[in-house]
Structure 1
């Protein structure tokens, strides 16, 4: 892992994500890129003379905040992490996606609003919406999270669907970087179904060289079951493998990954 991209809006809830980005860059010996995306007013030709100075002002303000954040992180680090800043104008999610590709980022980090924020149970955020778009692993950090090296990771898998081999390989490669223990969690309304048991055995075989446990629990509410299991097992990271979704439907009906990311008190890593 060579490049970590932190997309920030400078909000209070985004502060822990900055800490995670710095510490992970230190552990993985990666460079860190700080990104802020700002919006320009509607471009109406007759008003361009008015909006252009305002647009430049927004850009300067964003750059100053990024430099301040860079300096703050630099003071906290050992000085071994190269930190650069990027200010971009445009639609937030589209621009972040483009910068991920441009910078050849290996990991994208964003902060979430958190389970206790107003409307968190019902409304999404820019960070969770990014789950559908990101071409690289996306680490979503809740506002109450405190960084600890990942050692106990819960991986939620759906045994009712074919397992994405590439995504599972991404899970293993990420885990290996932290020498972490994997707890595979599968939630099913029919845990005794022979097909579910067969799928579980296939996962065990694929992970035979990786220290892990595999648990199949009965349940219909995936989000609450996964979050409760995570709390009981004192996990410090939840890993999810989001399914492919139609973007129009995704904007109306949340995925399980999005719900968990909004409500979790521990970071969530989405690997596509």
Structure 2
């Protein structure tokens, strides 16, 4: 991994995510690019019905560049030590007019980004993950790995990554990508299936799990990987339980319509994981 993209709106959650991204970049020996997507008020929906002050794109771009420049200086101050062998990430920035998803997607292709890191706010915030239209759009449309960092998450050594699976063969590409990420961190991967049914040794579910895990073994050569199931009342409660585990450093999932992550965001209890977890959520796109 060589490049991490960090979208920011200069909010406190975004600032926290930027610090997390910078510390992660040091471990991965990657560089960090901050970015901001802006819109000109007069071009926004409903703009014709509002009296906006006279401001053009160049003025906004100049202001955004100044804010990004200040952010780079603040993040760089004391970010690297003189310890032998410590990687000091290069920290740069870009800005462009458009939606967050449009700007980020374009930069991922243009700069060959390996990982996008975004912040999400804490409980009670109107910008929390389930209410954040930018974040939801990014999850739905992203064809790149996306790491969502909760407002209360502080970077620590990543030792254990839990991948929550629906036992879908289309998730195998995501697991493969995850092993590359985990190997760079020397982290353990635990493949978890959450079920409300008892897993009988000779039952259908046990067979499905065994077949899925065998598919992973035949495709992935990673020694620090194991498999578990979480037997809980339902998926929501299982995710809540998982989010409370103090030894889990990242929860990972693959996403497309109708799978576990889709249900998590549209169901009646979809706010639970994003509201309560302090654990970053790593989202992979499904293979197409």
1:200 aligns with 2:199: no
Kindly state the Cα deviation for residue 214 of structure 1 after the two structures are TM-superposed: 2.3
Aligned ranges 1:108-257 → 2 under 5 Å: 108-118=116-126, 120=128, 123-159=131-167, 161-192=168-199, 194-205=203-214, 206-207=216-217, 209-219=222-232, 221-244=234-257, 253=266
Given that residues 128 and 261 in structure 1 are in contact (C-alpha distance below 8 angstroms), is that contact kept between their aligned partners in structure 2?
no
- TM-score after normalising by structure 2: 0.80
TM-score (norm 1): 0.84
Q: Give the superposed CA RMSD.
A: 3.0
2:25 maps to 1:25: yes
SS of structure 1 residue aligned to 2:153: coil
Query: Does 2:101 align with 1:88?
Result: no
What is the CA–CA distance in structure 2 between the aligned matches of 1:210 and 1:22, rounded to whole Å? 28
Q: Which 10-residue stretch deviates more, 186-195 or 139-148?
A: 186-195
* Unaligned runs of at least 5 residues, structure 2: 82-87
**Kept after mapping to 1: 8 A contact 2:13/2:151:** yes
Aligned partners of 1:185 and 1:112: how far apart in 2?
24
Asked if residue 69 in structure 1 is aligned to residue 77 in structure 2, the reply is no
Aligned residues: 264
Q: Deviations over 1:31-80 (max 9, x none)?
A: 21110011112349x9xxx8774433322221111111111121132282
8 Å contact kept, 1:111–1:127: no
SS in 2 for 1:42: helix
Deviations 1:5-49 (A, max 9, x none): 0001000111211011111221111121110011112349x9xxx
Deviation per residue, 1:221-266 (Å, 9 max, x gap): 32331231232353111111112469xx99x936999863454211
**Segment of structure 1 superposing worse, 32-41 or 226-235:** 226-235
CA change 1:255–1:28 in 2 (3 A) is: farther
1:173 to partner: Cα distance: 1.3
Check 1:232–1:245 CA distance in 2 against 1; reply closer, same or farther (3 A cut). Answer: closer
Q: Does 1:10 align with 2:10?
A: yes
Q: Distance in 1 between matches of 2:124 and 2:271?
A: 16
With over 3 angstroms needed to count, the CA separation of the structure-2 counterparts of 1:235 and 1:67, relative to structure 1, is: same
Aligned to 2:42: 42
- Matching residue of 2:85: none
In structure 2, the CA distance between the partners of 1:90 and 1:17, relative to structure 1 (3 Å rule), is: same
1:180 positional shift: 0.9
Residue equivalent to 1:260: 273
> Following the alignment from structure 1 to structure 2, what is the Cα–Cα distance between the partners of residues 54 and 64?
16
Change (3 A) 1:132 1:257: farther
SS of corresponding position for 2:244:
helix
Residue segments in structure 1 that go unaligned for 5+ positions in a row = none
* Cα distance in 1 between the residues matched to 2:25 and 2:131: 31
1:109 positional shift: 0.6
